[in-house]
A and B are shown apart, each in its own frame.
Chain A
């Protein structure tokens, strides 16, 4: 066997480069202002927005290719993209979406269509490369194939970056502020002692195929959501069109409902088999899976020198399970608050508190918290209830619901469906405590309606 000249020690992997750190990946100790762990949509927006403020930013991701494998159905809204300053590009904005159709077990359909339901099903592999481009052009450096292996902690117990591994070599990345955007399996938060554990009560087991050759869809410009205990217990199955005849076909079931023979994959396969009208000419180009944190959030996604965004902070819409835009919006707030904290030289937990306040009081958090109650409520509905709901609700009411505006819904239900009043009170009225003063009148109205209905029920009984 011919001898190879030199030795493994001559490889460049752990030798410093003359270029700025992170230009080409090297396992050498480095120091930055902001370290972002995890480069999904949330992490990449954090990289972009911190870099825009002039900070030195390093983003790391354990995968060697951003964007794959995807863990979602790839839906994003027009207004979300616009808010985050991301212009749809035909390179990744594949499936144009104008609305959504919800199907009850009976097949009855409610169609939702307004400004908020317009958007795209994107190709995440390319979408994330574009977000990465924005981040790098704003001045951030990214290192892929780089796994965080431990948390650096300084004498004052502040998070001071991570120990990481690149191509088998360990090194330290020190940072004034660390952003944990490392997904549903986040270790950054756990290592820092934040309560990020997912409970199967508030966690969906997700499974999906990307399929080509799907046919007979009512409308290619709608997202299609299918409900029913036999279809997807305490969840739903979906078809997210991604251009003609291509679609993400998936399912999310409450993890608590999962068991042998009745897992997400079992349910999805059975459902697909039951619909040859849609799928007999189709075949799969991808298999995806995921845990979907539908708890609305971790209790406190911040620590000294640390902020969590995206799935790592369980920032997902508890009703539909979407989290791309939510992660990106939270990352923007994190960058704004974190940037101010860095400039003031104080990255303590209390200095980062405005991130939590702003997200949960003024941004998506305010809605998701309420939607969590709606989720608990909907989990108690039977197939028969869903069928009846599909007959009495129109798209506008459902849209109000998804924006956590409940009075019209409650009014309708009590008219058609008075026996569910106790359920409404139990699971939805808890929201009342969280409401801001201006919405209080709505709740008083709901309360009165419930009280009247309950009085009527007890009288009849």
Chain B
């Protein structure tokens, strides 16, 4: 895991979602999720967090690619 969410601290303001360069953070309701795979460990979300709810874990989360965009062809 690259970045861990302390759900007890998180105030689900979603500000971290706005700085993630690889779109790997999502907020649904009051649950913040960070996908391991696309995370490039840039630490911007950890730096931004107003309350310190995000921490950098160790280990490599996967290749630094933008995740597949959820584009649905109609």
A interface residues (Cβ-Cβ under 8 A, vs B): 62-64, 69, 71, 147, 149-155, 160-161, 163, 172, 174, 183-187, 190-191, 197-200, 203, 205-207, 255-256, 258-260, 263-266, 287-293
The A-contacting residues of B in range 12-59, CB under 8 angstroms, are 12-19, 21, 23, 26-29, 44, 47-52
Bound-state CA distance A320–B19 (Å) is 20
Distance, CA A197 to CA B44, complexed state (A): 12
Contact assessment for A263 and B52 in the assembled complex, using a CB-CB cutoff below 8 Å: yes
The listed residue (A64, A152, A207, A292) touching B72 by CB distance below 8 A is A152
Interface residues of B (CB under 8 A from A): 11-19, 21, 23, 26-29, 44, 47-52, 69-74
In the bound complex, residues from chain A placing their C-beta under 8 Å from that of B71 are 150-151, 153, 191
Flag if B19 contacts A289 (CB, 8 Å).
Answer: no
Q: Which of B26, B28, B47, B70 contacts A163 (CB 8 A)?
A: B70
A155, closest chain B residue (CB): B73
Assembled-state Cα–Cα distance A190/B15 (Å): 15
In the bound complex, CA of A256 to CA of B43 (Å): 11
In the assembled complex, the Cα of A255 lies from the Cα of B21 at a distance in Å of: 15
- Cross-chain pairs A/B with CB under 8 angstroms, 14 sampled: A69-B13, A149-B70, A153-B71, A153-B74, A160-B74, A185-B27, A198-B18, A200-B19, A203-B18, A205-B49, A206-B13, A263-B49, A287-B11, A288-B11
> Among the listed B14, B21, B47, B74, which residue makes an inter-chain contact with A172, where contact means beta carbons less than 8 Å apart?
B74
| Given contact pairs A151-B72, A184-B14, A185-B18, a sample of 10 additional A-B residue pairs in the complex whose CB atoms are under 8 Å apart | A153-B71, A183-B14, A184-B18, A191-B69, A258-B50, A263-B51, A264-B51, A288-B11, A291-B48, A293-B18
For A255, list chain B residues within 8 Å (CB).
Answer: 19, 44, 47-48
Name the residue on A nearest B70 (C-beta): A150
Would you give the shortest CB distance from A291 to chain B, in whole angstroms?
Answer: 3
Quick check: A258 and B47 within 8 Å, CB to CB?
Answer: yes
Minimal Cβ-Cβ distance residue in B for A287 = B11
User: In the complex, which of the residues A153, A155, A172 has the most CB atoms of chain B within 10 Å of its own CB atom?
Assistant: A153
- A203/B70 in contact, CB under 8 A: no
For B11, give its contact among A172, A183, A258, A289 (CB under 8 Å). A289
Residues of A contacting B27 in the complex (Cβ-Cβ under 8 angstroms): 185
* Contact between B74 and A152, CB atoms less than 8 A apart: yes
Kindly state the separation between the CA atoms of A452 and B52 in the bound complex, as whole angstroms: 48
Residues of A within 8 A of B12 (CB): 69
Which of B13, B21, B48, B72 has a CB less than 8 Å from the CB of A71? B13
With a cutoff of 8 Å between Cβ atoms, the chain B residues found around residue A172 in the complex are 72, 74
Complex Cα–Cα for A265 and B52 (A):
8
Q: How far is the CA of A161 from the CA of B72 in the complex (A)?
A: 10
Cβ contact within 8 Å between A206 and B72: no
Least CB separation from A149: chain B residue: B70
Tell me which of A69, A185, A187 has the highest count of chain B C-beta atoms within 10 A of its own C-beta. A185
In the complex, chain A residues whose CB is within 8 Å of the CB of B13: 69, 71, 206, 288-291
Query: Chain A's nearest CB lies how many Å from the CB of B29?
Result: 7
Q: Is the CB of B72 within 8 A of A205?
A: no
Minimum CB–CB distance for A164 against chain B, Å = 11
B residues near A69, Cβ cutoff 8 Å: 11-13
CA distance A426 to B69 in the complex (A): 40
**B50 pairs with A153, CB closer than 8 A:** no
Residue of B nearest to A289 (CB): B13
Q: What are the residues of chain A within 8 A of B17 when measuring CB–CB?
A: 184-185, 187, 291
State whether B51 touches A185 (Cβ < 8 A).
Answer: no
Return the chain A residue nearest B10 by Cβ. A289
> Within 8 Å CB of A64, what residues of B?
29
B residues near A198, Cβ cutoff 8 Å: 18-19
B14 near A205 with CB under 8 A, answer: no
A207 to B52, CA, bound (A): 11
If A149-B70, A172-B74 touch, does A200 touch B48 (CB 8 Å cutoff)?
A: yes
How far is it, in angstroms, between the C-alpha of A160 and the C-alpha of B15 when the chains are bound?
27
With both chains docked as a complex, state the minimum distance between the C-beta of B23 and any C-beta of chain A, in angstroms.
6
Among residues of B, the one whose C-beta sits closest to the C-beta of A208 is B50
Q: Which residues of A contact B70 (CB under 8 A)?
A: 149-151, 163, 191
Alpha-carbon gap, A263 to B6, bound state (A): 16
Least Cβ–Cβ distance between B53 and chain A, in angstroms: 9
CB A312 to nearest CB in B, in angstroms, measures 9
Chain A residues closer than 8 Å to B23, beta-carbon distance: 187, 190
Contacts of B52 in A (CB 8 A): 260, 263, 265-266
User: Taking each of B26, B27, B29, B52, which has the highest tally of chain A beta carbons within 10 Å of its own beta carbon?
Assistant: B52
The 9 A-B residue pairs with the shortest CB-CB distance, nearest first, are A291-B15, A150-B70, A185-B17, A289-B13, A264-B50, A185-B14, A207-B50, A184-B18, A198-B18
When distances are taken between beta carbons in the complex, the residues of chain B under 8 Å from A263 are 49-52
